[in-house]
């Protein structure tokens, strides 16, 4: 089986990390608390979009260098590899497709992060949106994703395992299955292999 896997929200608990980052930033700048703590990336609605993007980008490198992988992500990706599956890690990290020093830094840190944490993959693909345009030619049999807009598009072409997060908790789609852990993913794939 060829399996596409997103990083942020699936291999990582990016929501918890971002909640802490936003909480610290808002406190240090004497700004109001988050009014949308369970939003996907946008945790505040009262901030102007350009300012929000500037703050979000200021967190980027701290996040991609220091976020911990979800428990058992490395263990399960190794098991999937040993079981003969091909793993295509696909990430739409902000700026990762830029042909710039910043884009190269994001790509380099991402590769090093995967290797440092022992997460197995056959190929690493940096994408824009919609992600399907970047991964379609890999002929994935299954995709693991957390972002609703991406799930909506990819699930039209292949089954998607929706990694449970606060910002997608009530999402439902006929071609999706909700998973809560990496061993839920492993069970699903083993039962269909």
CB 81 within 8 A of CB 119: no
Q: Encode pLDDT of 172-187 as tens digits.
A: 999 999 999 999 999 9
DSSP H helical ranges for 83-162 = 101-116, 132-135, 148-154
CATH of 2-13+70-192, one of 3.70.10.10, 3.40.50.1000, 3.90.226.10, 3.40.50.300: 3.40.50.1000
Q: What is the pLDDT of residues 75-114, one digit of tens each?
A: 999 999 999 999 999 999 988 999 999 999 999 999 999 9
pLDDT of residue 188: 98
Residue 9 falls in which region: left (phi positive, over 0), alpha (psi -120 to 50) or beta: left
Domain borders along the chain are 2-13+70-192, 14-66
Angle, CA of 34, 35 and 40, to the nearest 5°? 80
Phi, psi of 31 (to 5 degrees): -110, 160
Other CB atoms within 10 Å distance of the CB of residue 3: 23
Mean pLDDT in residue range 122-138 = 92
């Amino acid at each position: 089986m060829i399996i596409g896997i997103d990083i942020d929200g699936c291999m990582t608990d990016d929501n918890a990390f971002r909640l802490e980052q936003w909480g610290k930033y808002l406190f240090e700048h004497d700004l109001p608390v988050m009014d949308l703590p369970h939003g996907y990336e946008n945790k505040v609605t009262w901030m102007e979009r350009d300012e929000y993007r500037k703050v979000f980008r200021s967190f980027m490198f701290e996040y991609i260098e220091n976020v911990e992988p979800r428990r058992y992500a490395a263990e399960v990706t190794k098991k999937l590899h040993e079981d003969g599956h091909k793993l295509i890690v696909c990430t739409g990290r902000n700026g990762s497709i830029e042909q710039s020093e910043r884009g190269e830094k994001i790509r380099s840190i991402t590769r090093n992060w995967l290797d440092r944490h022992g997460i197995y993959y056959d190929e690493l693909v940096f994408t824009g949106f919609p992600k399907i345009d970047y991964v379609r030619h890999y002929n994935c049999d299954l995709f693991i994703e957390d972002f609703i807009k991406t799930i909506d598009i990819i699930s039209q072409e292949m089954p998607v395992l929706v990694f449970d997060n606060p910002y997608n908790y009530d999402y439902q789609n006929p071609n999706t299955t909700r998973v809560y852990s990496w061993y839920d993913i492993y069970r699903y794939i083993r039962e269909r292999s």
